[in-house]
Amino acid sequence: MKNPVPSRSIYKKCLLVVLAVTLAACAGPQIPKPQDIVNVPQPLMDNTGEFMSPYTQDGVLALWVDKAINAQLGSKVGQMAGAYAGQKALEQVPFVGGILGAQVGEYAGRKIAIEASGGMEYITETSDMSFKNINDMAVYLYARHSTHEHYQQALEATWEIYPDLKNNYYQALVNAGSKR
C-alpha cells in the first residue's frame, strides 16, 4: 500500500492558516515601550491621593515596599486559606463556594499585606507621591520605573496592596499607547 502524498493545496491552506493566526496575533493590542508614552500622568507630590506610589520623589523604593515585598507570601496564604474556607463552607454549591472563597481570600490577602507593610497609616506616612487614579499610577510606574532593578518586585508588592492595579495594569498600558 502506497502512502498518499498530500497535495499542494493542503500545504497552501495550512500556510494560509498559519499566516492568518500570526497576523491576528500581531494586530492585537500592544503595550508601548516606556519611552514611547507621550502623555505620562503626573503624580501628586504628596500623600493626599487614594493610591500611594511605591517609589519616592527621588526614585527609590518607599519604605513600605520593603515590608510589602515580604508580605506577599502572607497574602498568598490568605487567598488559599479563604478559598479553602469558602469551599468547605459551601461544598453543596461548589461554583458559588469557590467564588466566595476566592473573594474572601483576596480580601484576607490584602488585609494581611497591608498589615505586614505596617498598616495604611504607615504606608501613607512613608509615601511622598500618590495618585487619584489607579490607571494613572499604572502608566506612571511603567513609564518612569520599569527599568528599575526591583520594578517587578515593587509592582507585585503594590498589586497586593491595590488589587485593582493588577486588574487594570495591562489595559492601562495599552490605552496609554493609543493616546499618542
Give the Cα separation of 84 and 96 in Å (integer). 13
Domain spans of the chain, in order of start: 36-177
In the chain, the amino acid numbered 174 is V
Whether the Cβ atoms of residue 81 and residue 108 lie closer than 8 Å to each other: yes
Q: Please give the model's pTM, rounded to 2 decimal places.
A: 0.71
pLDDT of residue 99: 61
Whether the Cβ atoms of residue 117 and residue 33 lie closer than 8 Å to each other: no
pLDDT of residue 93: 57
Sequence-separated contacts (24+) of 166-169 with Cβ below 8 Å = 168/134, 168/135, 168/138, 169/138
Question: pLDDT tens-digit profile of 106-138?
Answer: 778 788 889 888 999 999 999 999 999 999 999
Whether the Cβ atoms of residue 161 and residue 110 lie closer than 8 Å to each other: yes
Whether the Cβ atoms of residue 47 and residue 63 lie closer than 8 Å to each other: no
